[in-house]
Structure 1
Amino acid sequence: MEFRDVVRRRRMVRRYSEEPVDPTVVDRMLEHAQRAPNAGFTQGWAFLVLDTPEDLARFWESTGAEPDTHNAWLDGMRTAPVVIVPLTSKDAYLERYAEADKGWTDRRDDRWPVPYWYVDAGMAALLILQTAVDEGLGACFFGIPAQHTDAFRTAFGIPADHRPVGAITVGHRATDTGAKGSPARRERRQDLVHRGRWGTTVSP
């Protein structure tokens, strides 16, 4: 598939068919994710792959979706045969930039203009989403509710220095792709590119 088609066809898919996902395709998603840009080649991310009925049930329950909780979004998302959870380690970045070749002698986090541990994990997540499209699959990135993060950590033994940045459902698209997302309710903005100075917008 042409790259421009991958970009244009990417959608958040919220309902999946019963067809299983080839594990080698999941491996390719993770291989591509680890090729994402990352500050200082820190590689401070990790990926939790859940692809058994038991692990998937534990994921949904630990993140606040009790078995008897039903709504269109949740009922669709729970049909996914694979969930990938990207995690990031702030400590890994602070340690990396305290090394001799980076020139900082401490682990202060106020040196960072933005928290690149989240930026890098987000770019890795996007590569997972794009690989799903290229492989003819559907995927959806969504957040783990803050009030359930600790329960998720406990359920899967996540170490204290790693934090989930969200989760990604993966599967074959169902004919009904699930609850409509925000793009169905909002127009695509045409005023986001500024050339030369702010306020000079150019339509795509």
Structure 2
Amino acid sequence: MEFREVVRRRRMVRNYDPDRPVPAEVVQRLLDHAVRAPSAGFAQGWGFLVLESAEDRERFWAAASPGGSGRQRWLEGMRRAPLIVVPHANRATYLERYAEPDKGWADRSPDRWPVPYWYVDTGFAALLMLLTAVDEGLGACFFGIPPQRTGAYREAFGVPEDFLPIGALTIGYRAPDQRSPSLRRGRRPVDQVVHRGRWGG
């Protein structure tokens, strides 16, 4: 598939065919592409939890679901996904990397970072998985884990404290789903968000 077509087709998919698992070689390609993401100082401060078994996926939904009746319809289709990947960012990896001689920030202070690139870089990796899913004929959705559920999620999977989940991805073969109400907003035209030469110019 041409890259422009991959970008054009990318959307968040919220319903999956539960009877079609993601082939092992495709799972591997998703992860191989994720680690090709750029990272500050080539720190690569990320970690990916891959959940394929029905037992692991059910444990994830039990630990990380936001709850509330308004979410049940949304979760019904998402829970059918045969694959969940949770990308995590590790700030300590970046602070250590930038204390090395070629960078020289020996104090390891996060205040030196006007933007927390550990989150940015892990987001890049997640986006590469979203695009790879489209290229492989799959659907995927990136969504957040509610902060009040992070502790339960960590406990369920033994996630070390240094690793913060930036969200999760459901991945699988698409099934018919409802158009998201958010899409009624429409995509903002390029000329509304691009500023040439100066802001507003």
TM-score normalised by length of structure 2: 0.94
Matched to 1:172, the amino acid is: Y
Matched to 2:185, the amino acid is: R
Partner of 1:15: 15
Runs of 4+ more than 6 Å apart: none
Partner of 1:45: 46
- TM superposition shift of 1:182: 1.4
- TM superposition shift of 1:105: 1.4
Partner of 1:169: 170
- TM superposition shift of 1:19: 1.1
Seen in structure 2, the aligned counterparts of structure 1 residues 144 and 104 have a Cα distance that, compared at 3 Å, is same
Say if 1:140 and 1:169, in contact at 8 Å, map to a contact too: yes
Moved more, 81-90 or 99-108: 99-108
Is there any run of 5+ residues in structure 2 with no aligned partner, and where?
none
- State the distance in 1 between where 2:6 and 2:102 align: 37
More helix by share: 2
- TM superposition shift of 1:113: 1.4
Say if 2:66 and 2:145, in contact at 8 Å, map to a contact too: no
- TM superposition shift of 1:181: 4.9
- State the distance in 2 between where 1:64 and 1:12 align: 18
- State the distance in 1 between where 2:126 and 2:199 align: 30
Partner of 1:116: 117
- State the distance in 2 between where 1:45 and 1:7 align: 24
- State the distance in 2 between where 1:20 and 1:122 align: 25
Partner of 2:153: 152
Matched to 2:6, the amino acid is: V
Matched to 2:133, the amino acid is: A
Matched to 2:111, the amino acid is: D
Say if 1:14 and 1:76, in contact at 8 Å, map to a contact too: yes
Seen in structure 2, the aligned counterparts of structure 1 residues 69 and 62 have a Cα distance that, compared at 3 Å, is farther
Matched to 1:7, the amino acid is: V
Seen in structure 2, the aligned counterparts of structure 1 residues 142 and 70 have a Cα distance that, compared at 3 Å, is closer
Say if 2:66 and 2:149, in contact at 8 Å, map to a contact too: no
Say if 1:6 and 1:133, in contact at 8 Å, map to a contact too: yes
Secondary structure of 2:36's aligned partner:
coil
- TM superposition shift of 1:179: 5.6
Partner of 2:34: 33
Secondary structure of 1:101's aligned partner:
coil
- TM superposition shift of 1:144: 0.3
TM-score normalised by length of structure 1: 0.93
Matched to 1:135, the amino acid is: E
- TM superposition shift of 1:151: 0.4
Query: What aligned pairs does 1:1-204 form with structure 2 within 5 A after superposition?
Result: 1-17=1-17, 18-64=19-65, 71-174=72-175, 176-178=176-178, 180-183=180-183, 185-190=184-189, 191-200=192-201
Matched to 1:8, the amino acid is: R
Matched to 1:187, the amino acid is: G
Secondary structure of 2:74's aligned partner:
helix
- TM superposition shift of 1:104: 1.3
